[in-house]
Amino acid sequence: MGPLEVALATLGLLAAYLTLGIWVFAAVGLVGLTALHLLLGFDIDRIGAIMRGSMWRSASTWELSAVPIFIMMGELMYRSDMSERLFRGLSPWVARIPGGLLHTNIAGCTIFAAVSGSTTATTATVGKITTAALAERNYDQRLAVGSLAGAGSLGLMIPPSISFIIYGVLSETSIARLFAAGVFPGLLIAGLYSGYIGLRAAVNPTLAPRGTDTYTAVDRLRGLLDLLPVSVLVIFVLGSLYSGIATPSEAAAVGFLGAFLMVLLTGQMTWNLFVESIAGTIRITTMGITILVAANFMSSAMAYLHVPQEIAKFIVDLGLSRYALILLVAVFYVVLGLFLDGLSIMVMTLPITLPLVVAVGFDPVWFGVFIVIMIELGLVTPPIGFNLFVLQVMTGHTMGFISRAAFPFFLLLCVAAVIITAFPEIALWLPDALFNR
């Protein structure tokens, strides 16, 4: 059996395991075990040695220590009154822009993403206040829900991003550079979303009625006070990282301390809130790390079979241009996003796709941004788009309604991918400016 046949058999086996309802990490690990035993004839002792080595290397990487700390920071903020503060703080500043308070979804998700790193927490935190507030003011529900589905995905792009940490560990790329690379693409995506909302509202003002809310200069100043705590937190986290004072793990610790103090000093800290935040952190971290170590074992199995090298050689022999190759990779990720979560996609495919794109001249830091956009596309597409499920629970709308509402923002993400491919400096200028001094 040739490497291409092995790759197809592997995907088929993985699909079969997932169809049976086996947990993702177990299905991924079983694929690696099956491949080593059936295709290479390795006995259980040798497979066990490979498994122990690959899992230990991936799980004991120091950079992963930032993951639970950033998650804990987001969990604390999610259970605080952050959503109310964001809505109160942003409303006076966006009310008069075409689209009005719909922009609170975009701006709120952009700001919260800078203290969370989780798309689910970002969508849920901002949505738990804006969905009801926009419905009460007769804003178009399809535009309101769609904008929240799209903007919630910014939790993966705006640093600190858990996806960038995982990508950095897997690709041996500087996490600090990846964080910096995500800033301008994240702002670009937010700008595309807000521009689309403004254009739709300018053409059809009934989508975003002005209502009776009026805001004075004093209201805007009060709004800044509501935004001040989270703004200070963002400055401390990203400032300590980009200035070189702190590593990603140390910056995460700074962020957690800031979030803890903010919740404590505003009188919201309770024993139940703290315990629930810890439980949420353990649950999310365990899920992510188990998938990571299982996928690393499967990647080791594929390496023993020389699958990544042979597939890379096959695609290079096709003579595709670099842009045709990246289009092929993009389609590949969009298709996988229909069936798998983003973390699983990244850890399973990176050993194959990263060498390909680097071989044709793409920067690995740039590809980190590109792959995160591809994962964001999966978040807003059925049948397993996580953001769609979060919004279904929050709003009570059908999955069909939410999927149709999110589709324009899916297209805008595609536009963002095209733009950063045509102009890679959007992603690479800031990390070069900060770390090539």
pLDDT 10s digit of each residue in the chain, 437 long? 565 666 667 767 777 776 777 777 788 788 888 888 877 788 888 888 888 887 777 677 776 788 888 888 888 888 888 878 888 899 999 888 899 899 999 999 999 888 877 787 788 888 888 888 898 888 999 999 999 999 988 988 998 888 898 899 888 899 989 999 999 999 999 999 999 999 999 999 999 887 656 788 888 899 898 898 888 888 888 888 888 788 888 888 888 888 899 899 888 899 999 999 999 888 878 877 777 788 778 777 777 777 666 666 777 677 788 899 999 899 888 887 876 677 777 877 887 788 888 888 899 999 999 999 999 998 888 766 778 888 887 888 888 899 999 999 999 999 999 999 999 999 999 999 988 75
**Residue 398, C-beta contacts closer than 8 angstroms, at least 6 positions apart:** 392
| This prediction's pTM | 0.82
Range of the domain at 229: 3-435
Rg of the Cα atoms in the chain:
22
Overall number of domains in the chain: 1
DSSP letter, residue 71: H
CA distance 344 to 298: 11
CA distance 188 to 110: 11
Torsion of CA 359, 157, 291, 332, to 10 degrees: -50
What pLDDT, on the 0 to 100 scale, is given for residue 239?
A: 85
Q: State the DSSP H helix or E strand holding residue 274, giving kind and residue range, or none if neither.
A: helix 271-304
